[in-house]
Structure 1
């Protein structure tokens, strides 16, 4: 086994928190704090594996059809049918599905009542939307017949997102999904198009009659894209390099009061949150070969749809600074401005064929 490299001489003085504090004191557009260590300088084997990623940094807002957004309106041609999901949609009676209108109303009530007690009218409305459970719990199911209109998830213009690699002649990516599990997460559709070719816009797209979970209805967010450099998850590295990283991480993790086994993944490899490009993270699944069903080309991650913008390290070292707020966004969990939740708090990676992004894509929860 090759010797473990010594500590990187160029590391900023003091612990990770000190480096973050310096960024917080600056009056700048939100940016990702620099990594406390240039891991590719310590381990040159990682340098050829570096990839850029564009963190989207969603923020609550009112995007238009001409903006890049999460959960915002799409620049959709009036003459093109709105996507529908034709698969079966059945929901158990324990967690009944809700209409998009009721979910938005629920969010508005929580946002308006932030810092005060609910009014009697607000309580009555919330109980109508989610009636108190009665026991014994009835196990009846809800079944939705016919096609279900899909919901906008993301609209990304190439001008805003440098890590988008569109097909020739296209400059816009639109992502939609069915707001029901298929089988453990929403089924997505990708559309690449030329924005200039859309001259007659669909004003009022159809909506689904129900959404299985609140986390499947993205809240409208504007974006503040930022390009960063990432490295692979430790599970995508050779066993020899993994062991070198593990041994080297012992003093680094101790200084930050972190777990040695996860220090590299949490702080130095790839960023959490919504992003385009870069490397996927592996928590709920292990890496495995992914090949295009059309041409056999190895697939690469196009986009990450995330539950949380902050990482798993105790200091939230990936949180952009200045931070978008001093407390949680009203009506959402933590700093999750989009309101999206994948599984019990995971992420959904969309993989595409680099030879032709319009070939069938793959969805994977990690």
Structure 2
């Protein structure tokens, strides 16, 4: 099934012509539950990986203020809670039985740190044929993103980018290693999802605009918001441009960075000091109460009963307190190290 983002409520570039030259294409990935194969683009799916190529590991120091859990613990915990949320229960009936509560406590208790390199976990596999505008090194037709599913000094999982020529993979790896230690909440364990890529047009977040233009957009917002929300008596709308007209929420490739709770900082390549460009945004959700106009048309039908997995977050990934992880790459060389940021 395709996913279709509704037209923006307002053609903002016709009202503020200064924005027109700043338009950028972004590819919303629209991950949805599925069973992807190694030969498909996916989030959290299996990677097309050569059997004779070493699987990457993380040997960095991790934030050890909480004990880690296993990948199996995360999967069993999710299955337990999903079943509990979906089954009928009375108004005073507990979500979990005493036996289930005891099992959940065991699954969340954690285990001692293994103290050895941690195998990386597949996050995204993007075939260039599926993602308009995505380009890689000469000969590469596939981008694979893995990460260590633990917090690092940045407060983020440490990501690894692999560009690959699929024609060279003649003997694919069937059973890749799994990380021994995982974030205790499973925040960095993506559920397998198939993708429904869609091109949309974006404009910079107000944080990246000249102060004078950003101020005019904030002043313009409330009156425009009131036209479609006459019931709102709180004089909302100052962030109308930011949430509804600038940067698309959710997992995406390219476009503009979703700067939010802090001002943008220079994303300069550590090797050549060139300004890096957004490659991939990993999101904690595709929409929320402030970005409802971005909900795809196909997801506006009456939803089926939702369990643990929210309709807006099929991969079940959570960055920080519901933020985004931005991955930037250097436009001068794919060999230069990428940058990561949380917003």
- Same fold by TM-score greater than 0.5: yes
Deviation at 1:87, TM superposition (A): 1.1
1:125 corresponds, among 103, 123, 132, to 103
Structure 2 CA distance for partners of 1:29 and 1:155, relative to 1, 3 Å = closer
User: What residue in structure 2 maps to residue 306 of structure 1?
Assistant: 283
Structure 2 CA distance for partners of 1:250 and 1:89, relative to 1, 3 Å = closer
TM-score by length of 2: 0.89
User: What residue in structure 2 maps to residue 270 of structure 1?
Assistant: 247
Deviation at 1:334, TM superposition (A): 5.3
Contact 2:68 2:113 survives alignment (8 Å): no
Contact 2:68 2:111 survives alignment (8 Å): no
User: What residue in structure 1 maps to residue 339 of structure 2?
Assistant: 362
1:344 and 2:321 aligned: yes
Q: In 2, Cα distance between the equivalents of 1:250 and 1:78?
A: 57
Deviation at 1:359, TM superposition (A): 1.5
- Unaligned ranges ≥5, structure 2: 90-95
Contact 1:271 1:318 survives alignment (8 Å): yes
Deviation at 1:215, TM superposition (A): 1.0
1:152 corresponds, among 113, 122, 132, to 122
Contact 2:28 2:197 survives alignment (8 Å): yes
Number of equivalenced pairs: 328
2:54 corresponds, among 81, 84, 90, to 81
Deviation at 1:127, TM superposition (A): 3.2
Alignment of 1:109-258 (within 5 A): 109-113=80-84, 114-116=86-88, 118=96, 122-130=100-108, 142-183=112-153, 184-212=155-183, 213-255=185-227, 256=229, 257=232
User: What residue in structure 2 maps to residue 286 of structure 1?
Assistant: 263
User: What residue in structure 2 maps to residue 64 of structure 1?
Assistant: 37
1:35 and 2:8 aligned: yes
User: What residue in structure 2 maps to residue 48 of structure 1?
Assistant: 21
CA RMSD of aligned residues (A): 2.1
Deviation at 1:30, TM superposition (A): 2.4
Q: In 2, Cα distance between the equivalents of 1:61 and 1:111?
A: 16
Deviation at 1:233, TM superposition (A): 0.5
Structure 2 CA distance for partners of 1:328 and 1:187, relative to 1, 3 Å = farther
Q: In 1, Cα distance between the equivalents of 2:308 and 2:127?
A: 28
> What SS class does the counterpart of residue 295 from structure 1 fall into?
coil
- Unaligned ranges ≥5, structure 1: 1-27, 132-139
